[in-house]
């Protein structure tokens, strides 16, 4: 590049411009692809279900009715209109439990990704920007933790600190932040000496200012893609741990827990585990379809390695 | 005896999401036995695509040869079966490429990459092919070839790798060598070594060479005849000296204006051609050079001009009778 | 090359140390092993006495050093459940897990690579669509759902295979399929991406210009280059199989492997057995990593020059 270093205002203006234009283009490509459109709509619906759970669910998800226990779904013989998806072992309404399960699973997933994403990104950016001893120690630690089998780690810790949603969030965040840190550090390193950072330095920005104003927009697209993938992983891990009895505890509803509760009745009352399991599947599949689109749309060079 | 290779109305297009890219638009030329032909043009003018089309090496999809004939030794290369063209590739017509750093398979020893063709086309056994590969490496002046035959490309410099490419291309004594900008990625001193090498081997083997480049300077000392391409079309064709002394197409005149020349009596200022080549998707209906031409008249917009004879062996695709002497002063200054 | 293996050795040592340390930390520092071992209503004096006898009242650091020095000679104490040394008990289910893991990986690789290669050669074709769907389903598949569904379809409805258990080859089919699903998705994804990356490289045109038929170009030139990332990813997936997926699959299908042992140890609160099983899994992970490194070196001759 032979052009002179741009002034702050120009650089800043260019950034904002590019980002608005990109957002518009991004949305346009989203609606051109039926698969990603469907995935996006499903995700929006799931979020609405999670938020409006008390309004949407026909029954109290914990209300038992032994008289009505193991009622099959409405379209199966012996089913009833009142319980669309049937009832469970204790006569609780499956639909209501799935709705509350959506709330629980999405809440845990989102909180984990937000906590791990923020902590990981900050540490990673600092490591990449500061370099030196901080970077060396952080990287050693990250390398280390990445090598330890995640599910094994999560199980052991959950067994020690006890099950429950709060502990799940702690453990899943502990397992997830390193991935954000690694990505943020890598991106930070690659743009540390990029022209515009130099430009900002020349024109006298403080270190902090440089970091936040310039690096963050560049990180956004990769971090968002990673966050969607990590969300899917957190939901799957949560479901797995809840299934093993190490996650969400009764009487709360969570998809993994519900699959486990229905597991012994797979031959007589398969709806008990079919529907909650299907919910996990639909959610993770939508997230992955969305993430694939997002990755392609924001960074065509990046390959599917995640 | 007719020409060795005859290209007639070759057309190659790329079918992309944005539209059809008209990379090569009805080009025709001939190549005689033992002759060296230069094809010159700026990047994106279709010269490389045209060369790859000769051996049907266009990546398809998205690329496709949509029309024309390529007559080689009496057969139309565009019509024959894939297995037939495979027998010609690397055997009777060989090719070397621009970037020696990426042209070789990084995971295969260079000797193996050479002997592969020998086994395929000349039906040599492994031992014979290996001995011949060493011989070929010596021919392209790789020092201690016998020791280096099992080395990987990563252990060679750019110039050395291009020598390996040449050894590979010449292994089956081809009748035609297509050299697609083989010196562009190399240092100037190495460039001269490679051109000398190709020239010397050309005489030894007696093959014809198609030398593709964007550098008119390279063509000058190397070729017998030159074709100038612009926007997927041939705009001028002439014996090399004639082209330099008496260019008859405004684009060639512009190109020559941007070649630094040491033999000029009064060093003129280097000129450059204003503007950009046309959009290859939304291809202009008239003369593709119209927008940048200093000689343009309204009639240029009617249809793309055909090549017409302007002298012995000299053709130009311009309806205006131009030459360097009629150059308007605005171009020179 | 030697440096790589040396680095890997050091890394392995730390990995095993870390896993055992995490177990120590969770069971001895966060948890209370004495309380876990003795019945809940044990009087306080007896608990204290027990603590004294077993040395659980010493400073944590001393306990840690003591614990680690025993752990590294394979002494994790006696299993509280079976009253015999824990390590041999933890090693016993290893062949069952290896059997399952190796069959699953073989299935995933032998299906995944051809599908990925074919899809990569013809992007946009029906085969490519199939590959995209396979990989998306694979990476989104919740095992807690896949396992019961397989059991429901093939065992309950069709009656072709047993629902759970260990012994004949019929018992192996469903767990193998379940375990192969996730690695299959990942391997298809990476193979396809890798083939697409390689095919546009200049050396492929060179090879075709030599007159090699397309099949030979693929087999002799492209595959070797394209399979390097596939080897790496397959290694990661194998690690995930034995350290994560297998825990759920073995729990669902009652397969007596290490995953099942780990889960059982947690459920019955057998701390020494838990530690020994975690140690065994860590060692298996290390062995797989070594195997992958060696395979990588064999396939990639260039590693000597890096």
Under 8 Å CB-to-CB from B173, ≥6 apart: which residues? Answer: B205, B207
Q: What is the tens place of the pLDDT at every residue in A129-165?
A: 777 888 889 888 888 788 788 888 889 888 888 888 9
Q: Does the beta-carbon distance from C301 to B107 stay under 8 Å?
A: yes
Give the other-Cβ count within 10 Å of B33's Cβ.
14
Residue C206 with chain B: CB contacts under 8 Å: 97, 103-105, 165, 168
- Residue (of B194, B179, B215) closest to B98 by Cα position: B179
Residue C302 with chain B: CB contacts under 8 Å: 106-107, 152, 154
Q: Does the beta-carbon distance from C203 to B52 stay under 8 Å?
A: no
Count of CB contacts below 8 A, A vs C?
134
pLDDT for residue C22: 86
Mean pLDDT of A221-229: 85
**B165 and B100 Cβ atoms separated by less than 8 Å:** yes
- Residue (of B96, B30, B37) closest to B223 by Cα position: B37
Does residue A15 have a pLDDT over 60? no
Q: Does the beta-carbon distance from C206 to B97 stay under 8 Å?
A: yes
CB of B75 less than 8 A from some CB of C: no
CA–CA dist A161, B206 (Å, integer): 83
- In DSSP notation, B174-232 reads -SEEEEESTTTTS-HHHHHHHHHHHHHHHHHHT-EEEEEES-HHHHHTT-SEEEEEETT
CA–CA dist A122, A114 (Å, integer): 12
Q: What is the tens place of the pLDDT at every residue in B258-269?
A: 665 555 554 455
**B308 and B316 Cβ atoms separated by less than 8 Å:** yes
Pair of tokens at residue B230: 């612009």
Partners of B239 in beta bridges: B225
Least confident of A10-14, A37-41, A243-247, B275-279: A10-14
**B93 and B67 Cβ atoms separated by less than 8 Å:** no
pLDDT bucket at A305, cuts 50 / 70 / 90: very low
- In DSSP notation, A30-57 reads HHH-HHHHHHHHHHHHHHHHHHTHHHH-
DSSP designation for A66: G
- Residue (of C301, C297, C265) closest to C86 by Cα position: C265
- In DSSP notation, B110-142 reads HHHHHHHHHHHHS---HHHHHHHHHHHHHHTT-
- Residue (of B252, B263, B178, B180) closest to B216 by Cα position: B252
Q: What angle is formed at CA C236 by the lines to CA C226 and CA A162, rounded to 5 degrees? A: 160
Does residue C237 have a pLDDT over 80? yes
pLDDT for residue C179: 94
**C252 and A263 Cβ atoms separated by less than 8 Å:** yes
CA–CA dist B93, B68 (Å, integer): 19
Does residue A186 have a pLDDT over 80? yes
Does residue C163 have a pLDDT over 90? no
For the sheet with B75-76, list strands across it. Answer: B19-31, B5-16, B63-72, B75-76
Q: C150-154 contacts: CB < 8 A, separation 24 or more?
A: C150/C174, C150/C177, C150/C178, C151/A266, C151/C252, C151/C253, C152/A266, C152/A267, C152/A270, C152/A274
Is the ipTM higher than 0.90? The answer is no
Q: How far apart are the first and last CA of chain C?
A: 8
Does residue B330 have a pLDDT over 70? no
pLDDT for residue B214: 84
Q: What is the tens place of the pLDDT at every residue in B62-101?
A: 888 888 888 888 888 888 888 888 988 888 999 988 888 8
DSSP designation for B106: T
CB of C84 less than 8 A from some CB of B: no
Mean pLDDT of C120-139: 86
Under 8 Å CB-to-CB from B211, ≥6 apart: which residues? Answer: B36, B37, B38, B39, B179, B198, B218, B219, B222, B223
Q: What is the tens place of the pLDDT at every residue in A28-70?
A: 777 777 888 899 999 999 999 999 888 888 888 887 778 777 7
Q: Does the beta-carbon distance from B154 to C302 stay under 8 Å?
A: yes
Residues 121-160 of A with CB under 8 A from C: 143-144, 147-153, 155-157, 159-160
Strands (E), chain B: 5-16, 19-31, 36-40, 63-72, 75-76, 93-96, 176-180, 208-213, 225-230, 233-239, 308-311, 314-316
pLDDT bucket at C231, cuts 50 / 70 / 90: very high
Q: Which of the pair, B148 or C37, is modelled with greater confidence?
A: B148
pLDDT for residue A207: 62
pLDDT for residue B101: 81
Average pLDDT, chain A: 80
Q: Does the beta-carbon distance from B90 to C203 stay under 8 Å?
A: no
Q: Does the beta-carbon distance from C206 to B106 stay under 8 Å?
A: no
Do the strands B36-40 and B225-230 form a parallel or antiparallel pair, or are they unpaired? parallel
pLDDT for residue A2: 30
Mean pLDDT of A194-217: 64
Residues 37-66 of B with CB under 8 A from C: 52, 55, 57, 59
Percent of chain A with pLDDT over 70: 81
- Residue (of B15, B67, B11, B9) closest to B281 by Cα position: B15
Nearest chain C residue to B109, by CA: C301
SS3 (DSSP) at B49: helix
Mean pLDDT of C244-253: 91
Sequence-ordered alpha helix ranges (H) in chain C = 2-24, 33-37, 44-54, 60-71, 86-91, 94-121, 126-140, 143-150, 169-199, 202-209, 214-216, 223-240, 246-253, 258-267, 271-299
pLDDT for residue A8: 33
Phi, psi (rounded to 5 degrees) for C136: -65, -45
Q: Which of the pair, C180 or B78, is modelled with greater confidence?
A: C180
CB of C301 less than 8 A from some CB of B: yes
pLDDT for residue B268: 54
Q: What is the CA radius of gyration of chain C?
A: 24
Mean pLDDT of C205-210: 91
Q: What is the CA radius of gyration of chain B?
A: 21
Does residue C251 have a pLDDT over 70? yes
Residue B57 with chain C: CB contacts under 8 Å: 205, 208-209
pLDDT for residue A192: 66
CB of C200 less than 8 A from some CB of B: yes
Q: Does the beta-carbon distance from A239 to C144 stay under 8 Å?
A: yes
Q: Does the beta-carbon distance from B104 to C213 stay under 8 Å?
A: no
pLDDT for residue C94: 93
Does residue C206 have a pLDDT over 70? yes
pLDDT for residue A201: 62
Under 8 Å CB-to-CB from B53, ≥6 apart: which residues? Answer: B10, B12, B24, B65, B70
CB of C304 less than 8 A from some CB of B: no
Does residue B333 have a pLDDT over 50? no
Does residue A110 have a pLDDT over 90? yes
SS3 (DSSP) at B308: strand
Q: Which of the pair, A238 or C23, is modelled with greater confidence?
A: A238
Q: Does the beta-carbon distance from B154 to C305 stay under 8 Å?
A: yes
Secondary-structure percent of chain B, ordered helix, strand, coil, rounded to 5: 35, 25, 40
CA–CA dist C15, C8 (Å, integer): 10
- Residue (of C128, C114, C104) closest to C227 by Cα position: C114
Instruction: Mutate one of C144, C178, C226, C258 to test the A interface: name it (highest A CB count within 10 A).
Output: C144
pLDDT bucket at A12, cuts 50 / 70 / 90: very low
Q: Does the beta-carbon distance from C136 to A292 stay under 8 Å?
A: yes
pLDDT for residue C134: 86
Q: How far apart are the first and last CA of chain A?
A: 33
**A235 and A208 Cβ atoms separated by less than 8 Å:** no
Q: Does the beta-carbon distance from C252 to A263 stay under 8 Å?
A: yes
pLDDT for residue A212: 66
DSSP designation for A93: B
pLDDT for residue C180: 95
Which chains have 3 or more CB–CB distances shorter than 8 Å to chain A? C
CA–CA dist B222, B205 (Å, integer): 16
Mean pLDDT of A107-114: 96
What's the gap in Å between the CA of B111 and the closest CA on chain C?
14
Average pLDDT, chain B: 83
Nearest chain A residue to C266, by CA: A159
pLDDT for residue A194: 62
Does residue A282 have a pLDDT over 80? yes
**B152 and C305 Cβ atoms separated by less than 8 Å:** yes
Average pLDDT, chain C: 87
CA–CA dist C227, C206 (Å, integer): 20
CA–CA dist B172, B109 (Å, integer): 19
Under 8 Å CB-to-CB from C103, ≥6 apart: which residues? Answer: C172, C176, C180
The per-residue b/e assignment along B84-106, b for 16 or more CB within 10 angstroms, e otherwise, is ebbebbbbbbbbbbbbbbbbbbb
Under 8 Å CB-to-CB from C150, ≥6 apart: which residues? Answer: C174, C177, C178
Nearest to B103 among C202, C212, C302 (CB): C202
Q: What SS3 string covers A160-207? A: HHCCCHHHHHHHHHHHHHHHHHHHHHHHHHHHHCCHHHHHHHHCCCCH
Mean pLDDT of A212-239: 84
The per-residue b/e assignment along A26-45, b for 16 or more CB within 10 angstroms, e otherwise, is eeeebeebeebeebbebbee
- Residue (of A173, A178, A144) closest to C16 by Cα position: A144
Q: What is the tens place of the pLDDT at every residue in B94-146?
A: 998 888 888 899 889 999 999 998 998 888 888 889 998 998 898 888 888 88
Q: What is the tens place of the pLDDT at every residue in C44-100?
A: 788 888 777 777 778 888 888 888 888 888 888 888 888 889 899 999 999 999 999
Give the other-Cβ count within 10 Å of B78's Cβ.
17
pLDDT for residue B329: 43
Least confident of A264-268, B9-13, B326-330: B326-330
Pair of tokens at residue C112: 């995944």
């Amino acid at each position: 590049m032979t052009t002179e270093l741009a002034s702050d205002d120009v650089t800043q203006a260019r950034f904002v411009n590019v980002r608005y234009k990109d957002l518009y283009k991004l949305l346009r490509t989203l609606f051109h692809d039926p698969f990603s459109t469907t995935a996006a709509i499903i995700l929006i619906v799931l979020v609405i279900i999670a938020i409006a759970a008390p309004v949407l669910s026909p029954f109290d998800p914990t209300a038992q009715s032994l008289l009505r226990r193991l009622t099959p779904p409405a379209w199966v013989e012996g089913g009833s209109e009142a319980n669309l998806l049937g009832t469970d072992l204790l006569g609780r309404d499956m639909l209501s439990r799935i709705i509350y399960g959506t709330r629980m699973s999405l809440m845990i997933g989102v909180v984990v990704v937000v906590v791990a994403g923020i902590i990981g990104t900050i540490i990673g950016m600092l490591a990449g920007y500061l370099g030196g001893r901080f970077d060396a120690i952080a990287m050693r630690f990250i390398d280390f933790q990445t090598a330890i089998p995640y599910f094994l780690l999560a199980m052991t810790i959950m067994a020690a600190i006890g099950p429950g949603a709060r502990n799940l969030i702690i453990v899943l965040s502990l397992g997830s932040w390193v991935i954000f840190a690694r990505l943020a550090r890598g991106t930070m390193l690659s743009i540390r000496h990029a022209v515009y950072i130099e430009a900002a330095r020349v024109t006298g920005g403080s270190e902090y200012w440089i970091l936040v104003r310039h690096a963050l927009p560049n990180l956004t697209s990769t971090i968002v893609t990673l966050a969607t993938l990590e969300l899917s992983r957190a939901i799957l891990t949560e479901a797995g741990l809840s299934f093993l009895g190490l996650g969400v505890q009764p009487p709360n509803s969570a998809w993994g827990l519900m699959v486990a509760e229905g597991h012994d009745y797979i031959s007589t009352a398969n709806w008990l585990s079919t529907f909650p399991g299907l919910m996990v599947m639909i959610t993770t599949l939508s997230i992955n379809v969305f993430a694939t689109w997002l990755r392609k749309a924001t960074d065509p060079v990046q390959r599917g390695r995640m | 005896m007719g020409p060795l290779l005859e290209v007639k109305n070759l057309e190659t297009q790329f079918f992309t999401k944005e539209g059809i890219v008209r990379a090569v638009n009805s080009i025709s030329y001939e190549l005689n036995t033992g002759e060296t032909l230069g094809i010159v043009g700026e990047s994106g003018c279709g010269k490389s695509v045209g060369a790859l089309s000769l051996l049907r090496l266009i990546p398809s999809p998205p690329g496709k040869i949509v029309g024309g004939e390529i007559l080689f030794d009496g057969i139309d290369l565009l019509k024959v079966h894939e297995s037939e063209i495979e027998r010609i590739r690397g055997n009777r017509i060989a090719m070397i490429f621009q970037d020696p750093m990426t042209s070789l398979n990084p995971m295969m020893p260079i000797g193996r990459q050479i002997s592969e063709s020998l086994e395929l086309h000349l039906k040599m056994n492994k031992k014979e092919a290996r001995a011949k590969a060493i011989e070929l490496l010596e021919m392209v002046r790789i020092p201690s070839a016998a020791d280096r035959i099992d080395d990987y490309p990563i252990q060679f410099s750019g110039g050395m790798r291009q020598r390996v490419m040449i050894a590979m291309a010449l292994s089956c004594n081809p009748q035609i060598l297509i050299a697609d900008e083989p010196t562009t990625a190399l240092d100037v001193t190495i460039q001269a070594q490679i051109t000398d090498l190709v020239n010397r081997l050309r005489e030894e083997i007696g093959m014809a060479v198609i030398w593709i480049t964007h550098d008119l300077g390279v063509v000058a000392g190397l070729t017998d005849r030159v074709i100038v391409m612009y926007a997927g079309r041939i705009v001028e064709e002439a014996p090399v000296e004639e082209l330099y002394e008496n260019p008859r197409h405004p684009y060639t005149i512009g190109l020559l204006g941007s070649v630094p020349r040491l033999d000029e009596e009064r060093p003129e200022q280097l000129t450059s051609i204003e503007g950009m080549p046309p959009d290859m998707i939304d291809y202009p209906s008239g003369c593709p050079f119209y927008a940048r031409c200093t000689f343009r008249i309204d009639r240029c917009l009617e249809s793309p001009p055909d090549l017409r004879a302007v002298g012995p062996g000299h053709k130009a695709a311009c309806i205006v009778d131009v030459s360097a002497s009629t150059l308007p002063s605005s171009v020179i200054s | 090359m030697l440096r790589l293996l040396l680095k890997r050795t050091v890394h392995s040592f730390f990995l095993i140390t870390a896993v055992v340390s995490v177990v120590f930390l969770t069971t001895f520092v966060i948890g209370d092993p004495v309380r876990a071992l003795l019945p809940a209503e044990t009087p306080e004096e007896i608990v204290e006495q027990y603590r004294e006898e077993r040395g659980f009242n010493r400073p944590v650091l001393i306990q840690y050093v003591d614990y680690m020095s025993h752990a590294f000679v394979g002494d994790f104490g006696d299993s509280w459940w079976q009253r015999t040394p824990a390590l041999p008990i933890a090693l016993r289910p290893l062949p069952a897990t290896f059997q399952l893991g190796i069959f699953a990986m073989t299935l995933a690789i032998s299906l995944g690579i051809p599908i990925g290669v074919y899809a990569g050669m013809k992007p946009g074709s029906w085969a490519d669509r199939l590959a995209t769907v396979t990989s998306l389903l694979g990476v989104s598949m919740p095992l807690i759902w896949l396992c019961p569904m397989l059991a429901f379809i093939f065992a309950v409805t069709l009656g072709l295979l047993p629902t759970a258990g260990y012994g004949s080859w019929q018992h192996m089919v469903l767990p193998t399929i379940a375990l192969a699903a996730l690695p299959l998705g990942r391997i298809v994804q990476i193979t396809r991406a890798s083939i697409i990356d390689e095919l546009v490289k200049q050396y492929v045109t060179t090879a075709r210009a030599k007159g090699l038929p397309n099949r030979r170009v693929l087999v002799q030139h492209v595959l070797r280059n394209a399979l390097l990332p596939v080897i790496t990813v397959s290694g990661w997936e194998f690690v995930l199989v034995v350290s994560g997926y297998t825990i759920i699959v073995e729990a669902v299908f009652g397969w007596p492997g290490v995953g099942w042992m780990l889960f059982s140890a947690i459920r019955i609160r057998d701390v020494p057995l838990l530690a020994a099983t975690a140690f065994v899994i860590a060692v298996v992970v290390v062995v797989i990593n070594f195997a992958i490194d060696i395979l990588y070196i064999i396939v990639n001759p260039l590693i000597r020059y890096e």
